[in-house]
Amino acid sequence: MDTEQRHYLAPAAWVNGSWAQDVLLTAGADGLWTGVAPNASDERQRGAQRLAGPVLPGLVDAHSHAFQRAIAGLTERSDAGEDDFWSWRDRMYSAANRITPEQLEAIAAFLYSELLHAGYTHICEFHYLHNDLDGRPYAQPLEMSLALVRAAQRAGIGMTLLPTLYMRSGFAAKSLREDQRRFASTPESVLRMAEAVAGQDGHVASGVALHSLRAVDPVALREVAAAAGPQMPVHIHIAEQLREVEDCIADHGQRPVEWLLNKVALDARWNLVHATHCSEAELDGVRNQRASIVLCPSTEANLGDGIFDLPAWMGQSGSWSVGSDSHVTRSWQEELRLLEYSQRLGLRQRNVAARSALCQSSAAALFQGALEGGSAAAGRPLGGLAVGQRADFMVVDTASNALAGIPPGHLLDAIVFSSPAPGFSQVFVAGQAVPAGEPALRAGFVRAMNELWS
Ligand SMILES: [Zn+2]
């Protein structure tokens, strides 16, 4: 057990929503910040490890289906007929229904390493591939969960595993389709998995997830939410697709978020993933019940979901985080850019995030928003460079072309909006540097891809 405090000196660091200079950062033996001191005197700087560039706090990747990394780049051809979310989902199922625990571990370990060195230091894994290929439970019910936990440990990223309840194929269905057999689960099985995974390792936490209103019946939904502990985040896919909204109205007589607000007591544990199709009244309700929203801009664009009402949500200071979801990009800068650009295209305006959040810089509004919402998604203190938060951070590579000649006051603007985005020369989780992903992780990924697709 490491009992040492660690002292770092950052020439500049993102503290509390703006850049501070000469920041002395102290991480305790428990991996949490015990000191964040800007303008440190020469005397206080003595003995601290000098970091080679400006420091940003690590971001939470609040929504991941790791196995979908195996289809990134493989669903971009148009076959005859309709091509929408539902036809994409059929192709996604072909990966879900053939991946073994070994392949899942290899794919997730490489993915998590990519995400970590891109500046996501914690992953929320929305996990519903529970059963064996034939749909029967594994002899060890945690087989697939533990493959994901080992992958996170090998990559060095923090994790909140979210075992996901998935019970039926649609609002009116009584059971799953044949091609959904691996997802079968009950409130008890999901809660048992969450309990068993928590405490596997200091950087692994757990919460619970409900796949969606169409996949979980109301009684089970309330049961899982009520049984999850006060520190456990509760995630749900909601209002991603218009068809889902229409089906919900047909079955429940209400829109999905409207139904949740009226029929389930939401609280700060709840993270509504996508929430693409919400009215302003629904967003008001989510805000009043202190729930958060998880936005996945690259996946929502890839799947043609629609455009989230960012000005309304930011205008009421709603809590939100960002997720790479299907992993068509592993860059959080690309997610934030796309979030802003989709608004600009729709509204024919510029700097929508900045104006909605009443601040000057769109990059600051977007980065700070994603940072602050990360803790709610992960159920861990991951809110940035502040005492008591986990000491996760990255050192910006100042040699990146995107930063050449940029005045210091515009550093974050260039990090987010000048692409290709600058890389990070070092990444730290819980106060300790994590070496760059080994070539072995890439080799394992390539092997798994060959097994799956050749
Ligand atoms: Zn998802």
Distance 206 CA to ligand 1 centre (A): 17
Alpha helices (H) in 7-159, listed in sequence order: 42-45, 85-96, 101-117, 143-155
Which residue is associated with the tokens 């780049």? 73
Alpha helices (H) in 380-438, listed in sequence order: 411-417
Q: What is the pLDDT of residue 198?
A: 86
Catalytic residue flag (residue 117): no
pLDDT, block means (10 residues), the chain with 454 residues? 83 97 97 97 90 98 98 86 82 92 98 98 98 97 97 97 98 95 97 90 93 97 96 97 95 97 96 97 98 98 96 96 98 98 98 96 98 98 98 97 96 98 96 91 97 92
Looking from the CA of 446 toward its CB, the CA atoms found within 13 Å total 5
Q: Which residues contact 94 (CB under 8 A, 6 or more apart)?
A: none
Side chain identity, residue 217 = D
Distance 117 CA to ligand 1 centre (A): 22
Catalytic residue flag (residue 211): no
Distance 325 CA to ligand 1 centre (A): 5
Looking from the CA of 78 toward its CB, the CA atoms found within 13 Å total 5
Distance from chain centroid for Cα 317: 20
Closest CA to 137 of 98, 184, 196: 184
Record the tokens describing residue 64, joined without a space: 């991941």
**Alpha carbon distances (Å) from 169 to 177, 263, 270:** 6, 21, 23
Q: What does the alpha-carbon distance between residue 402 and residue 420 come to, in Å, rounded to a whole number?
A: 7
**Alpha carbon distances (Å) from 31 to 169, 308, 389, 429:** 42, 36, 9, 8
Q: What is the pLDDT of residue 343?
A: 98
Distance 431 CA to ligand 1 centre (A): 30
Q: What is the pLDDT of residue 82?
A: 75
Q: Which of 309, 325, 327, 392 is catalytic?
A: 325
Burial class (CB in 10 A: 0-12, 13-18, 19+), 413: middle
Q: What does the alpha-carbon distance between residue 18 and residue 377 come to, in Å, rounded to a whole number?
A: 23
Distance 293 CA to ligand 1 centre (A): 13
Distance 68 CA to ligand 1 centre (A): 10
Q: What is the pLDDT of residue 2?
A: 54
Distance 335 CA to ligand 1 centre (A): 15
- Is 14:412 a contact under the CB 8 Å cutoff? yes
Side chain identity, residue 276 = T
Distance from chain centroid for Cα 232: 15
Which residue is associated with the tokens 């009950």? 186
Q: Which of 65, 117, 122, 274 is catalytic?
A: 274
Q: Which residues contact 436 (CB under 8 A, 6 or more apart)?
A: 117
Looking at the whole model, is its pTM more than 0.95? Answer: yes
| Kind of pairing between the strands at 55-57 and 33-37 | unpaired
Closest CA to 217 of 166, 271, 269, 278: 166
Side chain identity, residue 113 = S
Distance 91 CA to ligand 1 centre (A): 15
Q: Residue 303 has what DSSP assignment?
A: T
Q: What is the pLDDT of residue 3?
A: 63
